[in-house]
Structure 1
């Protein structure tokens, strides 16, 4: 009898945990293949700190081939676009399993990806489903009567709030070291369609975060979105036009189009699965993370959110259920109680509600960083060392690995693969475009890590 073959598509939070748990459970008794566009896992919630230069990009990555528990796994780089998911000719379903896990990012969302650019200008970009591409923001003054001529538009829930909070502190430090002409300072704006900042937190913590942002000079606009983005600025939903050459897009994610090839019912682009993470009608296919609409057993009639917290735990359950389908152990339904949120506001400021306990200030900051250290699958010592060095040494204001905006357009399905001059491009992107207008794209979800 042939060895069982297991294909895991995606190495985000869910896929990484599925592969690691399966490797431990099967103990060399199955052939496991992990398919991912890159050779590393990225801890997405810390990307805002990478963008602000707090952490070096490699600190938040984990090399897949070097993970000890992956020794029995084959790690393949590539994508699955345009390839339907099916068993091979003559394949016995009893011996083949497919686990679909993580999505591609359309725009950075809470706890996922980083920043996007517009208008054909070089901008600090954390491109990728999960990849940091550059570290330090570049401050570019604009001419005109406005004394704060560089509004950096930010939109989003947790990610957008963290990027704005860290970015304002960082650009303030840069301008302090190298003042712009005539006392010009960068202007930051945080846009959100929600009625208040961080609506997933209680009103007290939401107000605390709002006060911290406004005291730093960030222009917080709630109930507001971007209607249109151009090379010269952004048109807001309230009709105001804001001059800007920097736009950071933090509006949400959508599942990889690959999930549509299953031919099963979808919920906002996600495969509807049962509580055991199996796709109805396809017992050999499991789905978890952002690719799956998982019933929330604690809230009947609802689905779990597209968050790292759910994806990490769903990966464990998916692995156990795949192993159970092969005769190893017993399967279990996915059930998880929300453990709360942590939001890093830069410096010693944070807002958190672990296990429903509201915290703010330095205590929340300590809890937030402690949570991230505990949740990271690797590089904990290096991350802690970077935090310590950032606390006692000044940051280096340098530009590394800049990516032009046309290399990663907002409408791409694979932002982790930046387009380079002379490389093949998808239709409609045959070369570096002139500054173009970008229509507003709505968020497919507003999950937080």
Structure 2
């Protein structure tokens, strides 16, 4: 069976990228892509978005004036990304991009696409040198994002940005009710999957694989979850029989990990009904049970029965700036003002959840953000508002865990709070 032509992948990728430029996530167009084409399209889309800012810089020097056709603009971004990544295939990329343009506006812009891409090849060294001298083109993040990190992380910002442009690791969480990392690692090796154990339950794969290749995945022996996200269950200090609340549960990875760690009475809240369905599906695959409800955790009158919880996980909505390499559209859909809006929502959630935490109980605050307003500053303001909140060490006497994106994990922040009796 012949593989679909590259032109089809370029066109489908351009449609997804154009949607992101217009303010939409790429999930729907990617889901609508035919299965045979989807892996190639995903690589093109995610790669183009990771390189976002660079492609527009190059087009600004290759075009006499901005394009008025969004789909052609996106097609050129995708093609420029592939030209940089696959220098051995430059002629194929140009030819197939021109073929892809034939189906847009009746092919009237085929000559423009051909001219722009061949112009890039002629001026490649000059243009790439200029891109390295431009802060947005070099670091492939929005200017406001770069400047914020430079102010908040004056030493670490280059490493954080570089990690944000990298391919994320694929990490597994072995279901400790069934197995342990060392035993499961041996099964992976036997199946021809290279991997490394990170701790008693976490395993990082050398290269991503389809979950269907993972031994026992359908039977619930293992889940895919970033190592940084796996910190939550341990930090909660779980004990048998506790009443536990996961206040913002979707997609259910941390929910499941809590239940794998201890026999607790768990309530999982999720605002979106469809995402709550994903929580139920994940729990069903793992053979775990929780009271999953569709509710806004801030509206206590809609879901709380008056019984307090001994442990609460507040994995709050955030900018997701720590996981942008997994969802590179985030970099281009977020705006600077969004961080302050997320911080307001986070504060409202924390204040509401504090009412349902039992005296002596512990609440773990978590974000996948690298920005201070959602992390350090948020907790500082919360403890100022609530004198009955004591901060607890999260390990090695530190009062917080602030993980920056790196080879082993994404960016996460954790702070553990205890309600004084």
TM-score range, shorter chain: under 0.3
TM-score by length of 2: 0.24
The structure with the greater share of residues assigned to helix is 2
Q: TM-score, normalised by structure 1?
A: 0.23
